[in-house]
Amino acid sequence: MPRKGLEEKVNALAVLRRNADYYPEVKKSQENFELTEYNCPILSISKNFGIACSMETQMFSQVLDADVKSTHRQVNGYSACRFLISRKSEENE
């Protein structure tokens, strides 16, 4: 996805996640995005291996070439997993 803009990348990621049964929703606020996933097919794995969640966030960051922060995780008792996505800050490039 290197030639796509961040919005296109986030929407493409949402399609991939929908196809994998994560039930994503994307919201845009100015130049930032919120990706909320209402199902976690790897929840049972994540309960035993918490690193799966941090690896997923890291993967999103690399694929999107963006700053990605996880604020909610189903493994922690939330009803959804939530990611805040923004353009890379200059200090992280």
Give pLDDT tens digits for 34-80. 999 999 999 999 999 989 999 999 999 999 999 999 999 999 999 99
- Assess if residue 56 is contained within a domain: yes
- Assess if residue 31 is contained within a domain: yes
Cα 38 from chain centroid (whole Å): 12
Domain count within the chain: 1
Q: Who contacts 47 (Cβ-Cβ below 8 Å, separation ≥6)? A: 75
- Assess if residue 24 is contained within a domain: yes
Q: Residues 82, 25: contact at Cβ < 8 Å?
A: no
pLDDT, residue 1, reads 66
- Assess if residue 65 is contained within a domain: yes
- Assess if residue 43 is contained within a domain: yes
If pLDDT is split at 50, 70 and 90, which confidence band does 86 have? very high
- Assess if residue 1 is contained within a domain: no
Q: Who contacts 65 (Cβ-Cβ below 8 Å, separation ≥6)? A: 2, 6, 9, 88
Q: Of 1, 19, 23, which Cα lies nearest the Cα of 10?
A: 1
The residue range of the domain holding 39 is 6-86
pLDDT, residue 92, reads 53
If pLDDT is split at 50, 70 and 90, which confidence band does 6 have? very high
Q: Residues 13, 63: contact at Cβ < 8 Å?
A: yes
